[in-house]
Structure 1
Amino acid sequence: MSSADAAWSAARYAANARFVSDLGAAALDLLAPQPGERILDLGCGDGALTARIAASGADVLGVDAAADMVAAARARGVRAQLGRGEALDAGAGFDAVFSNAALHWMTDPDAVIAGVARALRPGGRFVAECGGHGNVAAIRVALIAALAGEGVSTDLSEIWYFPTPREHAARLRAAGFTVTDIALIPRPTPVASGIAAWFETL
């Protein structure tokens, strides 16, 4: 686990970023979990959506790189374990892999896509929501300016991966996926707790 993974706090996340799981309902609708299905929730965070998948009758396992998030998910009564998208087990045979607001933190997208492919059974589905091209643009501009002023690297690709739909679809197809739906959906999101609290959540 990296120092960045260890820094995630479930309590801060719940206080400052509860909107993330609240806005995940549309992705859950696309997933349409069925009773008895084996589903992996990649980047499950505190398990808010994992619990909703479990309530559908599916057999769900949450995976997150942050120990505090895994503990919070387990406290909700769902199965969760430490893990990374790049290192998902081969032959796990999941019917679906789901991910909400997590893939953009995983900065080796090809390795993550390969991990998802390993975890799925043949014909399984991958349903995900993540930040795309232009995400948090105003915040990124301000952050780059602040970093430059301090003489620090302004290469944010080490922090976030925000692809265009075409770019990410090409990566998925190269890994053998059939892409049935991919879109960039504008979704301005007010940060009610303020930008300082938002940064503390990261």
Structure 2
Amino acid sequence: MAPQDALTGWDDKDNAEAYVAFTRTHPMYNATSRDLACRGELIDADLVVDLCGGAGATARAILGLVPDRARVVSVDSSGAMQRVGRRTLSDPRLSWITAPAEQLAEHVPDSSVDAVVCNSAIWKTDTLAVFAGVARVLRPGGRFIFNIGGGFAGVHHPDEHTVRTGPSLNTLIHQVAARDHGYTPPSKNKGTAPKLPLKTVTTELAAAGLAVVGTEVTAQHGTMAEKKAWLSIPVFARPAGGGFTHAQRMEILDAAYALTTPDTVTVTSWLVVVAQRPTDRS
């Protein structure tokens, strides 16, 4: 079935199918999921939450680390993503809750969770509300592990500068859209602050009663071919504005990709944060 000529968001069947197809073929989400899950100290966990879990890529990584007795709960607001997840990931230890991340504490008992893991989505949420909910459901000593895209966090791994060999595919897409369609890219204000820097994250976590116990800027290495596949998923297709249909965005993507070499290495930076509910909290 051809993609719809609109960006209808995450709760769209075509987008969910495209997203899951990407996770099966390319390592990005599986690699970042394993990285986060390994930081959760899950070997003795009884209950783990995969927050903003989508179709279950991170839940799969968690299930590979927790003991057989453990339960994993995947929470996401997209019914479409979870329907695909239920079809492609069957494990009796895994249950699905369709709800926004901000409503986590309404669906999981207080002080019952050993770890909450959130991959590639925390900046899309109301972080103050989410952090408060996570603090409620974590047991004392429980961990909250999440990552923030480098652009949102205002961080860059050194590999971004040492590996880059030319313009990014996003840059080429905007150039092609301007050249062939009269598109005017949004102006970049160099003085614009990042949406979710570590200082803000630390302050908001502390307000919720959580303490940062570790941070790291990591680099996810891929290829231009993988980046093209990622930008083919409807919610990620570019340009985001301009009134383009999905078909037009794919034409622009193909034209931009033709200006690249498929095996050119790409680097995506992530700020990884590990927080914890103090053990002495009353």
TM-score (norm 2): 0.57
| Structure 2 residue runs without a partner (length 5+) | 1-7, 161-167, 189-193, 236-282
User: 2 CA distance for matches of 1:142 and 1:102?
Assistant: 25
- Structure 1 counterpart of 2:59: 50
Show the counterpart of 2:203: 170
Choose 63-72 or 87-96, whichever is displaced more: 87-96
Distance apart, 1:173 and its partner CA: 1.3
Report the 3-state secondary structure (helix = DSSP H, G, I; strand = E; otherwise coil) of the residue aligned with 1:124: strand
Task: Give, in whole Å, the separation in 1 of the partners of 2:129 and 2:173.
Answer: 27
Instruction: Report how many residues are paired.
Output: 193
Match for residue 30 of structure 1 among 39, 47, 56? 39
User: What's the counterpart of residue 66 of structure 1?
Assistant: 78
RCO comparison, higher one (Cα < 8 Å, 6+): 2
Q: 1:22 to 1:60 in 2, by over 3 A?
A: same
The answer on whether the counterparts of 2:169 and 2:224 sit within 8 Å (CA) in structure 1 is: no
Equivalent position of 2:103 in the other structure? 87
Q: Is the 8 A contact 1:21 1:100 kept in 2?
A: no
2:16 to 1, 4, 10: 10
Q: Per-residue CA shift, 1:11-49, capped at 9, x if unaligned? A: 211333542123322211101213451111101122133
Per-residue CA deviation, residues 91-146 of structure 1 (Å, 9 max, x unaligned), is 3421211111121322x221221221222233321111231324799677788997
Aligned-partner SS, 1:179: strand
Aligned residues of 1:131 and 1:162 also touching (Cα < 8 A): no
> Residue 33 of structure 2 contacts residue 57 of structure 2 at CA under 8 Å; is this kept in 1?
no
Moved more, 38-47 or 182-191: 182-191
Counterpart pick for 1:99 among 115, 118, 140 = 118
The match for 1:21 is 30
Identity of aligned residues (%): 25
Contact persistence 2:34–2:62 (CA under 8 A): no
Task: Give distance in 2, aligned partners of 1:33 and 1:21.
Answer: 17
Corresponding residue number in structure 1 for 2:138? 120
Distance (Å, rounded) in 1 between the aligned partners of 2:173 and 2:131: 28
Alignment partners' CA distance in 2, 1:40 and 1:34: 15
- In the alignment, the residues of structure 1 paired with residue 52 and residue 20 of structure 2 have an alpha-carbon distance, to the nearest angstrom, of 15
The TM-score normalised by the length of structure 1 is 0.76
More strand by share: 2
